[in-house]
Structure 1
Amino acid sequence: MSGDHQTLALVLFSLFVALTLAITAWAGRRRRGTTEEFYAGGRLFSPMENGFAIAGDYMSAASFLGISGLIALYGYDGVLYAVGFLVAWLVVLFLVAELVRNCGRFTLADVLAARMRERPVRIAAGTSSLTVSALYLVAQMVGAGTLVSLLLGGESRAAQTWTVVGVGALMVVYVSLGGMRATTWIQIVKSVLLMGGTITLTVLVLLRFSGDFGQLLTTAAARSGQGPDFLAPGLRYGGDWTARLDFISLGLALVLGTAGLPHILSRFYTVPTARAARRSTVWAIGLIGGFYLMTIVLGFGAAALLGSDTVRSSHASGNTAVPLLALDLGGGAGSTGGTVLFAVVAAVAFATILAVVAGITLASSASVAHDLHASLRREGARRFGEVAVARLAAAGVGVLAIGLSLLARDLNVAFLVGLAFAVAASANLPVLLYTLFWRSFTTRGAVWSVYGGLVPAVVLVLLSPVVSGSPASLLPGLDFQLFPLENPGLVSVPLGFAFGWLGTVTSREEPDEDRHAETEVRSLTGAGAV
């Protein structure tokens, strides 16, 4: 990219980073140092504020960069990602939001511990939440590396590396100094910027085709190199039985995974009541729905105006489709309009990544400090404050995410998020639904449900084409692929439910009817909720 692109985009990057650091400093001065303030922002956010923050947490680099890129490369099959991400919110709205807010305090494990023996379920849920968060963080940081690499002239591995390291350092600062209050306001600002940028690009794409969406699709199909097949199912997930099963597996993970994402569940604790949690979800669905409709226009717009081959030549997985589209819409390379629009879009995408990684890191540090550390600490060992442990955990999670991101830098970010959703749907959602709705559920069933979904999901990913066996794998020089599907959800999600049932029916533990009744009343009415 030209020096003008680099300079302007870097200035906008710097302005957003300065704004977010100012928000963090402001929040840091206002916090009281309590766990409720650090994890939940004092539960003082309104439904609208929390709805914008949820949308900001959810509309990630996978959405803005990855989904549009997949649509530009694979047409109809890429749209399936957007549909899956959006439909998932119906599960959240009707089955999870209010009940989780009433039953827990800060994390998923709080909901389980309301009915079960505390130590084993906290260890299991904390481990699962940390795994999901790490996978999700990798996707965001890979997106950041891709953006800055494009900005600095293509496949600059050094730029990718330093960007990933910088994003990791910033997310630790946000969480350690500002906690949930700073993270929430960063996500609200990011949500407004992202919606503004996406609306602008969508309008410009439609103006190019005089508002005729049919013409847009026809042109996209013609320039994709695939013809009418570009607008029909099967380009990516068609053909043999493996590809079709992979599509079913992906859809299952996307629709069920959102309700098990730790950083989404933690957002319901930042409002004062369950009613506010439900209204937050409605706000979020409106924002997220509009956003995903626009990503469809952007994806087909990139295929129509740039051509799928151009998108693929810039980045094999399509992660740079939207920035390149912005460059073309502004007047092309070398034009003032193109420079400005490209820089704005790149800065908005970078803001998206920073906001999302802050939310995920906070959820990760809460799992470590509130669940794992409190449960694994030996009797008589020196006690550290929970907030202090959470801050140290944020640094550890940052180092882990940086290492994994550098390994996975060439994969599509939407695909990486799909893996995180698969683990969340396999390990977190079954145990959550069983705890809320099954009277006979036991502690053994809860622990078996978590590990029975988590372990198969992770193992199947390691034995899948994602890791080895093909030129596009993480380890292309090795081949220990045994599982044919790229997404494990089709196998691991049913296993999570099956192991929860098996652990319960084989348990000698008698279900605690009183605790279940108390949890049921609390979840439905809010009586006794924190």
Structure 2
Amino acid sequence: MTILAQGSDVGNPLLNIAIFALFVVVTMTLVIRASKTTKKASDFYTGGGQFSGPQNGFAIAGDYLSAASFLGIAGAIAIYGYDGFLYSIGFLVAWLVALMLVAELLRNTGRFTMADVLSFRLRQRPVRMAAALSTLAVSLFYLLAQMAGAGGLVALLLDIHSQAGQALVVAVVGLLMIAYVLIGGMKGTTYVQMVKAVLLIAGAGVMFVLVLLAVRGNFSTLLAQAQMAISGSANPSVASTDVLAPGAKYGISGMSKIDFISLGIALVLGTAGLPHVLMRFYTVPTAREARRSVTWAIGLIGAFYLFTLVLGYGAAKLVGPDAILAAPGKENAAAPLLAFELGGTLFLGIISAVAFATILAVVAGLAITASASFAHDIYASVIKHGNASEEEQVRVSRITVVVIGIVSIVLGILAMGQNIAFLVALAFAVAASANLPTLLYSLFWKRFNTTGALFSIYGGLISCLTLIVFSPAVSGRPSAMFPSVDFSWFPLSNPGIVSIPLAFLLGIVGTFVGARRTEDPVKQAEMEVRSLTGVGVEKAVSH
């Protein structure tokens, strides 16, 4: 391969920065325009519910397709083949769960946050506090992963190797995130995510076409040549088995297969419990538009993940696994190196800018979700007992954005070089364990009560965090967060196969334990009618 073994001398860092700066200027212009119509709490939190289904579908795609999707999956396929593509399948199938179970019902029963739904017919203060803490936990870990990813990727994209230089990039991303949210609120963030989705999917689509042209449109030839490149690698980290069949990564032992099942459960179920995804259902005017937005998102996200299959095998053929693993960022370098091989310096600069835009859009969505949850659920409902004005909520939310931004910058700098995939998996596992069981019980089980909700949320949250702390992802392995020590008594890297069923079970146990305390039957009936028909939604939103 003509790509330098050092991997860092690829492309022009100044060109990469210039293209990224152009993206920032364009999107900041949109954000400033959006700020002129951001006056009420509903404008700041949900964009006033004025986006159409297709617009929101693009925004959901922009919110969901993180740097891990673009860079991580392409790299995983380039090194592990079929097993790497299983991530794409898990992420995509998850949207069917969101569409069938939560999208329309959530839009009908909530207003700003997930806690609106969970506390609709239950006791407000304890349930909102629990839901808000769970939302903050998921958002923080997701933010941490994205911010740390920004520092890791910059080594290749901008040719910065020093820890101080990477820390500076993390700080710049954090400050831009704070600016986007403070200035434009949900409207500005949505526009950024829409632009980012178009750029990301278009960039991946162009690379998809160029890879197929390189093999004259013959996908079978691409697979065969990628198999030869991977099997001929001298790197012991590269899979030596058939990468066109299952087992290159998750077939090593029986425990690794169970670990993959656990990861798959967390990915499929966690998406329907991710608070920044759920909040997107409130940015449309009706439940019908919420359903349309998910349909659009599934199409866009599905197309993107199909692109990753060709990009991954294309990187294995055109770049080679040895060159990928020798570059800074290792597997994450597959897509940028492929872009350089396909289109040279300019194309690499564009893809580099898209990668940064991806991180920027995702962290902005996470920040506004976390700030809305704190201001609306903890400050207004718990601290102020529901007596906070909309102006107070927006002010507290803006302050929270700054605090969250600073904390994420610090944690992102500290986490540079750590296992980013672990942090992303943690966010999905927490969402699937703490949020989804309680959400489904609230929507579909009449007998479900406050005690069941608290058992499910806190039980799922605590069990998930505990099992991950004592898993091989944190200690006991060379790739762990703390490789020099070993306190991993739990054998699986992802706890989903244990913590998710446990959270569902605790919801049932808590409901029967607290059965003597009856919830408001009127509110229960109102929630059932509203969730299924949408009657009363517009009146609630207007207030």
If the length of structure 1 is used for normalisation, what is the TM-score? 0.95
Q: Counterpart in 2 of 1:482?
A: 489
Q: 1:409: how far off?
A: 2.5
Equivalences for residues 32-43 of structure 1 within 5 A: 32=39, 34-43=40-49
Which amino acid letter does the alignment assign opposite residue 56 of structure 1? Answer: G
After superposition, residues 48-447 of structure 1 pair within 5 angstroms as 48-153=54-159, 155-225=161-231, 226=239, 228-315=241-328, 318-330=331-343, 338-377=344-383, 385-411=392-418, 413-447=420-454
Amino acid at match of 1:353: I
Letter of the 1:151 partner, please give it.
Answer: L
Closer, same or farther: CA 380–78 of 1 in aligned 2, 3 Å: closer
* CA-to-aligned-CA distance 1:73-107 (integer Å, 9 cap, x gap): 21111111000000001111111000000000010
- C-alpha change, 1:8 and 1:73, in structure 2 (3 Å) is same
Cross-structure match for 2:528: 520
SS at match of 2:331: coil
Give, in angstroms, the shift of residue 318 of structure 1. Answer: 0.8
Aligned residue identity for 2:48: G
Any stretches of 5+ residues in structure 1 without a counterpart? 331-337
**Contact persistence 1:147–1:346 (CA under 8 A):** no
What do the CA deviations read for 1:370-402 (whole angstroms, capped 9, x no partner)?
112234426799988000111111112112222
Instruction: Pick which of 68-77 and 254-263 moved more.
Output: 68-77
What is the alpha-carbon distance in structure 1 between the residues aligned to residue 336 and residue 106 of structure 2? 38
Deviations 1:446-505 (A, max 9, x none): 111111111111111111122211221112222222211111111110111011111001
246 and 102 in structure 1: CA distance in 2 versus 1, 3 angstrom threshold: same
1:11-30 pair list within 5 angstroms: 11-30=18-37
Kept in 1, the 8 Å contact 2:419–2:481? The answer is: no
8 Å CA contact retained: 2:11, 2:340: no
Matched-pair contact (CA < 8 Å) for 1:46–1:276: yes
| CA apart distance, 1:142 | 2.5
Distance in 2 (alpha carbons) for counterparts of 1:284 and 1:87: 12
* In structure 2, distance between residues paired with 1:78 and 1:216: 16
Q: Is 1:448 paired with 2:455?
A: yes
Question: Does structure 1 retain, via aligned residues, the 8 Å contact 2:67–2:146?
Answer: yes
SS at match of 1:230: coil
| 2:224 alignment partner, SS class | helix
User: Partner of 2:234 in structure 1?
Assistant: none
- Do 1:318 and 1:412's aligned partners in 2 also have CA atoms closer than 8 Å? no
Number of residue-to-residue matches in the alignment: 522
The code of the aligned residue for 2:130 comes to A
Q: Offset of 1:320 from its aligned partner? A: 1.3
Q: Which moved more, 1:305-314 or 1:63-72?
A: 305-314
Instruction: Show structure 2 runs of 5+ residues with no match.
Output: 1-7, 232-238
Query: Which letter does structure 2 place at the counterpart of 1:167?
Result: V
Q: Could you tell me whether the CA contact under 8 Å between 2:11 and 2:348 is conserved in 1? A: no
8 Å Cα contact 2:105/2:532 also seen in 1: yes
CA pair 119-4 structure 1, distance change in 2 beyond 3 A: same
1:481 counterpart SS class: coil
**Equivalents in 1 of 2:194, 2:144: separation in Å?**
22
State the shift of 1:4 in Å.
6.0
Task: Give identity over the alignment, percent.
Answer: 55
The more displaced of 13-22 and 55-64 is 13-22
Amino acid corresponding to residue 375 of structure 2 in structure 1: A
Q: 1:2 deviation in Å?
A: 4.9
Report the Cα distance in structure 2 between the residues aligned to 1:377 and 1:227, rounded to whole angstroms: 58
Deviating beyond 6 angstroms after TM superposition, the runs of 4 or more aligned structure 1 residues are: 378-384
- Check the 8 A contact 1:63/1:414 in 2, yes or no: no
Q: Give the superposition deviation at 1:203.
A: 0.6
SS of residue in 2 equivalent to 1:25? helix
> 8 Å contact 1:135–1:416 — kept in the other structure?
yes
1:317 and 1:412 in contact (8 A); partners too: no
What amino acid is aligned across from residue 397 of structure 2 in structure 1? A
2: CA distance, partners of 1:350 / 1:316 = 14
SS of residue paired to 1:237 = coil
In structure 1, what is the Cα distance between the partners aligned to 2:137 and 2:305? 26
